[in-house]
Amino acid sequence: MALKANIVIDQGTDYETSLNITDDDGYAIDLTGYTGVAKMRKHYTSSNAVSFNVAITGPSGNVSLSMTASQTANIVAGRYVYDVQLTETDSNTVFRVIEGIVTVTPQVSR
C-alpha cells in the first residue's frame, strides 16, 4: 500500500523533494536496478499529465522528484493528484510507493 503525502509546488519556481523508501523496520531499501516514474494529473481520469523528473540513488533508498522553474510555470494553479511508481527491472514488478494531492500555488512575480 502506498504512503499518502500531499505536496505544494509554487508555480514558476524550481521544485525538489526527496523520499526515503524504507521497509517496515525503517531500514532503507536498496533501489539498485529500479526505475521510477512520477506524474500528476488534474483528475485520476485525465488524459493530460505532467511528469516529474525522477532520480534514484540505489543503496540509500532515496528517490528525488523535481521540476524546473519553466516546467512549473506551465502548470495551471490548482489541485492535482499524483503518484510515484518504482519498477524493479529484473522482475518487472511495479510498486506504487507514494500518492497524494499536489497544490500548485499561483505565481505573482513573472
Count: domains in the chain: 1
Q: Give the CATH number, domain containing residue 23.
A: 2.60.40.10
Domain limits at 11? Answer: 3-105
43 within domain boundaries? yes
Q: Is residue 110 part of a domain?
A: no
- The DSSP code for 34 is E
Q: Other CB atoms closer than 10 Å to residue 17's CB: what's the count? A: 13
- Looking at the domain assignment, is residue 61 inside a domain? yes
Fill in the amino acid letter for 100: G
pLDDT tens digit sequence for 2-59: 889 999 999 999 999 999 988 889 899 899 999 999 999 999 999 999 999 999 987 8
Q: What is the pLDDT of residues 55-101, one digit of tens each?
A: 998 788 899 999 999 999 999 999 999 999 999 989 999 999 999 99
Single pTM value for the model: 0.90
Sheet holding 62-67, edge to edge: 15-20, 62-67, 53-57
